[in-house]
């Protein structure tokens, strides 16, 4: 008689108690047994000998451009990139066309994802001055990752600039709010720096460190005033790291692999507009402060901020060139490279990419390899060293800022709720993704996660 739907055998498993040689027995999408399973019967077996089994990566900041900008990316291609890189859950951002600022727009994205998403998913609701009063209700909708605020303009037209509107958004609701912190007024004043400079190297001068610090200071003041928990996305400055270290009771923080891996001005000289993103990649002193924030716990999450544009768009004269780069597929191998180079511990990486996102956003049954949790795994080969080639990138835009870089530690298999969706580096089967369930939303609705 069949006992398990899937047994993963022979691998080293990253558990909360340490790395151990274990088999994993999976039934109905969840982990049922960790231990020696020997000849126990199963519908399917996956040999993980010589490999390390990590919790599936949860990337809580991606831009998959659908609807409205599908020439850059769409939900199918973006989630395909995700699972090829060991990412099993994504939170997608609201700056699409139209923006995700209503229940109807959220429902449309959920409909588009059904049957096409290769990994599990949730979608942020974009805040605006027009919908602030409704967000406390809408943030509890199934498939909603929470509320996203753009304090500084980026791709798209979502912007909540003034303190009065920010306070209205923060007063409405209970879930943690994700915020892009750049001071729009300061950036408007400094736009001539970019126009006159006419090269991406001026991007961190135009959108300077003070524009980020000023916005984060304003946000934290309003968080204190309203008692609302906030999550500061893509932190880039040493001043913000110092500030956020004093606000852990209300604020969590994200950094991106690219801000930990590239520094100015070198990246702009080598990559041009391919290194252009918002907030910008900054000088080495800021990068070192981000690493300190990773070491001492100020940083809670690693997010890719996957934000693709075509090479033709990136070739436009700066500052007409759009900001953003690919990242969801490379997040794990880039950060494993830092681990294997001695810059980061594996324990810390897993907390930043799996357990941490689950804890901060209240995701049900994800982020750890324990009994009863979803059987989401990134199975990696730490002995594999390979130069990243453009051909590996599954994103529609077809490029990566890491092209030509030697990466150490590569995803081999990806398992989503007990289904092998990537085997030996190749997609397998059909898209299996479904909407993420959140503890706070379930509690507010009186629902169960059974």
pLDDT for residue 1: 58
| Packing angle, helices 184-197 and 209-226, rounded to 10 | 170
What is the reported pLDDT for 157? 55
Extents of the domains making up the chain: 4-53+371-393+402-427, 56-361
Can you read off the two tokens belonging to residue 436?
A: 């993420």
User: Which alpha helices (DSSP H) does 1-158 contain, by range?
Assistant: 75-84, 103-113, 135-138
Q: What are phi and psi of 210, to 5 degrees?
A: -65, -30
As given in the structure block, the two tokens for residue 367 are: 């982020």
Which tokens hold the place of 219?
Answer: 């946000």
4-53+371-393+402-427 belongs to which homologous superfamily?
Answer: Urease, subunit C, domain 1 (2.30.40.10)
What are the CA-CA distances from residue 179 to residues 146, 186, 306, 339 (Å)? 11, 17, 16, 28
Tokens for 146, please give them.
Answer: 């929470």
Cβ count within 10 A of residue 447: 11
Please say whether the dihedral angle defined by the alpha carbons of residues 216, 220, 221 and 222, taken in this order, is positive or negative: positive
Catalytic residue among 59, 183, 208, 305: 305
pLDDT at 208: 98
Q: Could you check whether 4-53+371-393+402-427 and 56-361 share the same CATH topology?
A: no
Please state, in angstroms and as integers, the Cα–Cα distance from residue 304 to each residue in 28, 146, 187, 393, 415, following that order. 30, 18, 24, 14, 20
Tokens of 233: 């996305």
Phi, psi dihedral angles at 153 (to 5 degrees):
-70, 145
pLDDT in tens, 128-181: 989 999 999 999 999 999 999 999 765 445 788 789 999 999 998 999 999 999
401/275 Cα distance (integer angstroms): 7
Residue with the two structure tokens 């780069």: 325
Closest CA to 371 of 12, 30, 4, 88: 30
Question: DSSP for 241-292?
Answer: HHHHTT-TTTEEEEE-HHHHH--BTHHHHHHGGGG--SSPP-BHHHHHHHHH
| Segments of the chain scoring below 70 in pLDDT | 1, 153-157, 442-448, 450
Q: Is 305 an active-site residue?
A: yes
Beta-carbon contacts of 153 under 8 Å, excluding residues fewer than 6 positions away, are 159, 184, 187
Looking at the domain 56-361, which fold is it?
A: TIM Barrel (3.20.20)
Closest CA to 423 of 41, 47, 39, 6: 47
Q: DSSP E strands: which ranges in 77-198?
A: 87-92, 120-126, 144-150, 177-180
Q: What is the DSSP string of 278-346?
A: SSPP-BHHHHHHHHHHHHHT---EE---B----HHHHTSPTTTSPP-B--TTTHHHHHHHHHHTTSS-H
Look at the block and give the residue holding tokens 């990752």: 145
The residues that bridge with 9 in the sheet, in sequence order, are 47
Query: Prior bond to 408 cis, omega within 30?
Result: no
């Amino acid at each position: 008689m069949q006992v398990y739907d899937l047994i993963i055998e022979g691998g080293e498993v990253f558990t909360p108690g340490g790395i151990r040689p274990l088999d994993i027995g999976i039934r109905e999408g969840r982990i049922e047994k960790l231990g020696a399973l020997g000849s126990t019967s199963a519908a399917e077996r996956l040999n993980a000998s010589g490999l390390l089994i990590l919790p599936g990566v949860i990337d809580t900041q991606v831009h998959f451009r659908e609807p409205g900008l599908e020439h850059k990316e769409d939900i199918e291609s973006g989630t395909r990139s995700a699972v090829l890189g060991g990412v099993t859950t994504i939170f997608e951002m609201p700056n699409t066309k139209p923006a995700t600022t209503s229940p109807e727009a959220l429902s449309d994205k959920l409909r588009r994802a059904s049957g096409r998403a290769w990994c599990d998913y949730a979608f942020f609701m974009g805040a605006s001055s027009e919908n602030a009063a409704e967000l406390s209700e809408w943030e509890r909708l199934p498939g909603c990752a929470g509320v996203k605020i753009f304090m500084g303009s980026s791709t798209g037209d979502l912007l909540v600039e003034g303190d009065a509107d920010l306070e209205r958004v923060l007063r409405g609701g209970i879930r943690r709010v994700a915020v892009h912190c750049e001071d729009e007024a300061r950036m408007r004043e400094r736009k001539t720096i970019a126009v006159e400079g006419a090269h991406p190297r001026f991007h961190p001068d135009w959108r300077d460190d003070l524009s980020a610090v000023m916005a984060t200071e304003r946000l934290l003041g309003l968080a204190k005033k309203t008692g609302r928990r906030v999550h500061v996305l893509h932190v880039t400055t040493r001043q913000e790291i110092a500030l956020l270290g004093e606000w852990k009771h209300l604020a969590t923080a994200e950094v991106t692999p690219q801000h930990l891996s590239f520094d100015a001005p070198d990246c702009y000289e080598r990559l041009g507009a391919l290194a252009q993103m918002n907030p910008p990649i900054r000088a080495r002193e800021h990068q070192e402060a981000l690493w300190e924030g990773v070491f001492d716990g100020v940083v809670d999450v690693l997010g890719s901020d996957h934000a693709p544009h075509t090479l033709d768009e990136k070739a436009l004269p700066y500052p007409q060139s759009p900001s953003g780069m690919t990242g969801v597929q490379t997040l794990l191998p880039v950060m494993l490279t830092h681990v294997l180079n001695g810059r980061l511990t594996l324990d810390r990486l897993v907390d930043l990419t799996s357990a941490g996102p689950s804890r901060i956003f209240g995701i049900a049954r994800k982020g750890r390899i324990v009994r009863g949790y979803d059987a989401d795994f990134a199975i990696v080969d730490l002995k594999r060293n390979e130069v990243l080639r453009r051909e590996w990138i599954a994103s529609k835009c077809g490029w990566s800022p890491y092209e030509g870089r030697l990466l150490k530690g590569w995803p081999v298999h990806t398992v989503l709720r007990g289904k092998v969706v990537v085997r030996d580096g190749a997609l397998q089967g059909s898209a299996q993704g479904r909407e993420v369930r959140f503890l706070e939303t379930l509690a507010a609705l009186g629902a169960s996660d059974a």
